[in-house]
Amino acid sequence: MEIFHEFEKPGNYNVMLTTWSDPPFSCVDTFAIQAIVDYASENNFTMPNVFTPGKAENGVYIPGDLFRTTDVSVVYIDITIFTRTGLKVHQFEGNIRDWQGWDGTILNSGREAPEGVYYYVITRFNAYQDSNPDRNQPISRKLMNGFIHLYRE
């Protein structure tokens, strides 16, 4: 059995795991630990540099990768992806949990973006102090950019 919990806000948490077995043996065991959840930092927030999106083949969509981060310590993200010539191919602004990622299609057309190198710019806002984040009052704001290589099989 795998147990997973995602802490959505930074802070100190007391985590306790209690297990028990059914009768006739009825054994109980408890384990406790203090978890310190810190803000995301520029050192541990990463984006992939290569991805292979899905494709349509004979009218059937074959799923592939999405370009996105797995870091969920960031609440708000503003990302724009461009071709090498500056054509905007993807844009998202909002809660990172609502962003599905870039699927390799061109913005507002649904056409597949060709293989090649793309440039991304991210203005990301770290975790907020309450559950209703004000994007104008982030705890910290970081501008990131980089290149991604889109490959099609």
Cα distances (angstroms) measured from residue 19 to each of 26, 28, 123 = 10, 6, 43
Residue 131 banded pLDDT, cuts 50, 70, 90: very low
DSSP assignment, residue 148? E
Q: What is the mean pLDDT of residues 4-24?
A: 81
Fold of 50-150: Immunoglobulin-like (2.60.40)
pTM of the entire predicted model: 0.64
Domain parsing of the chain, residue ranges? 50-150
**Cα torsion at 86, 65, 93, 76 (round to 10°)?**
-130
For residue 129, the model assigns a pLDDT of: 46
For residue 44, the model assigns a pLDDT of: 62
DSSP assignment, residue 97? G
At 64 the three-state DSSP class reads: coil
Residue 130 banded pLDDT, cuts 50, 70, 90: very low
- pLDDT tens sequence across 49-100: 998 888 767 777 677 888 888 776 677 788 999 999 999 999 998 888 888 8
The pLDDT of residue 135 is above 90: no
Q: With CA atoms as reference, report the closest residue to 122 among 89, 76, 66.
A: 76
- pLDDT tens sequence across 95-126: 888 888 899 999 988 888 999 999 999 876 65
The pLDDT of residue 127 is above 60: no
